[in-house]
Amino acid sequence: MYPLDFFKSKFNKYIIVGFFNTLFGYLLFSFLVFLNFDVKLALLFSYILGIMFNFITYKYLVFEVPFNVSRLVKYIIVYVVTYNINLHLLNYTFEIINNYYLSQILVLPLIIALTWFLLNTWVFKK
């Protein structure tokens, strides 16, 4: 296996692009919390901006599919669902460790896995 073969796998591309997408969303969330935004609003704003940013990066860099409105609607539905799951898990985790920054880091792996599953099997399915 050559080093560049790593980038041929759709899942590997998802992880790499997703890392930067997640970093973008997490830094935005953290910045808004730092500015004393309500945590629900900080998460909501980071999700809304993340939806726009992530749709473009995943569509072009990972799944390489043409644009259509149906796909965008499904994508938004996935993010509404994962937002709500994320919010509940964030609140639950915060009750245990009392730190929103760390709570979100702990919740992210589950959200990333769930999002991959939904995007790969429903939104961007060829």
Residue type, 19: F
Q: How confident is the model at residue 3 (pLDDT cuts 50, 70, 90)?
A: low
Q: How confident is the model at residue 4 (pLDDT cuts 50, 70, 90)?
A: low
- Is 94 within 8 Å of 53 (Cβ atoms)? no
Tokens matching residue 39: 């945590």
pTM: 0.78
Task: Using the predicted structure, report yes or no on whether residue 2 has a pLDDT greater than 90.
Answer: no
Q: How far apart are CA 1 and CA 16, in angstroms?
A: 18
In this predicted structure, what is the pLDDT of residue 1? 55
The tens digit of pLDDT for each residue in 19-70 reads 999 899 999 999 999 999 999 999 899 989 988 898 899 888 898 888 889 9
Domain spans, the chain: 3-123
In this predicted structure, what is the pLDDT of residue 65? 86
Reference 83, options 44, 50, 122; nearest CA is 44
Averaged over 98-104, what is the pLDDT? 94
